[in-house]
Amino acid sequence: MYPEIHLFGTEDPDLLAAAAEPLDGPLISALGEVARTADAWLIPGSVCELGENGEIFNTAVVFAPDGRLAASYRKIFPWRPFEKYAPGETFVTVDLPDVGRLGLSICYDAWFPEVSRHLAWMGAEVIVNIVKTTSADRDQELVLARANSIVNQVFTVSVNCAGPVGKGRSIIVDPEGAVLQERSDAAAGVLSQRIDFGAVAAIRERGTAGTNRMWNQFGPSDRPIPLPLYDGHIDPQRWSPSAKGTPQ
């Protein structure tokens, strides 16, 4: 797993646009071959995707050990006004057979709680947030990684690019907000952590800190809660996360 736009060394929008290609292009084929050769799941950061109508998307890609493109996710919340990417519009999860379900997120998405909440609701046990933070707000992102884990009872893996380009300090957080692994500075390095996907269900059953069971908040007689901001509502009958094998 690598950071956002890991294979693109520039932030110049013209150069990024010139490097963009569709997901059936040679870069994706080459990355698939890397995964196949390694016989491993691979998230090589995100790529500049050339859309059907000439748009440029910041797109996370996931490759299976056989080299196939298992999932792709277009960043929903580009870092405006600094990023010129077109926004995506679809939340994406990917199943790792006999392991669990990942939810895909890119950098600034973490600042919008709707992203992590939807991914958790879609059954993600681990939210992968690939990051290219070069600015001073990495401190706040580390807080968000823990907060998003706590309020959704999921693991969060926030992978930032190292210096001199980025601020580093990648982090892995458990479903109760405890830091499992972290880099303390911007130096290049590798985090390795064995993750028990089953811990998500266990923590949701007993409650965070043995008390809080947010996903069991509603009863069968509870009425919908209006959400004026979204011109919609919370439906208590649809609140619980999806079961494995049935991504929403």
Of the residues 49, 75, 125, 167, only one is catalytic, namely: 75
Of the residues 48, 107, 132, 141, only one is catalytic, namely: 107
* List of residues 6+ apart from 77 with CB closer than 8 A: 87, 108, 109, 111, 112, 115
User: CA-to-CA distance for 30 and 185, rounded, in angstroms?
Assistant: 31
To the query of whether residue 75 is one of the catalytic residues in this protein, the response is: yes
* List of residues 6+ apart from 227 with CB closer than 8 A: 233, 234
Q: For residue 29, what are the CA distances in angstroms to 41, 61, 153? A: 15, 12, 35
Of the residues 4, 49, 125, 141, only one is catalytic, namely: 4
CB atoms within 10 A of CB 180: 15
Residue 4 carries which DSSP code? T
To the query of whether residue 55 is one of the catalytic residues in this protein, the response is: no
Q: Which residue has the tokens 């923590």?
A: 203
Q: Nearest Cα to 214, choosing from 243, 236, 196? A: 236
Q: Under the phi-then-psi rule, with left for phi > 0, alpha for psi from -120 to 50, and beta for the rest, what region is 78?
A: beta
To the query of whether residue 84 is one of the catalytic residues in this protein, the response is: no
Please identify every residue annotated as catalytic.
Answer: 4, 75, 107
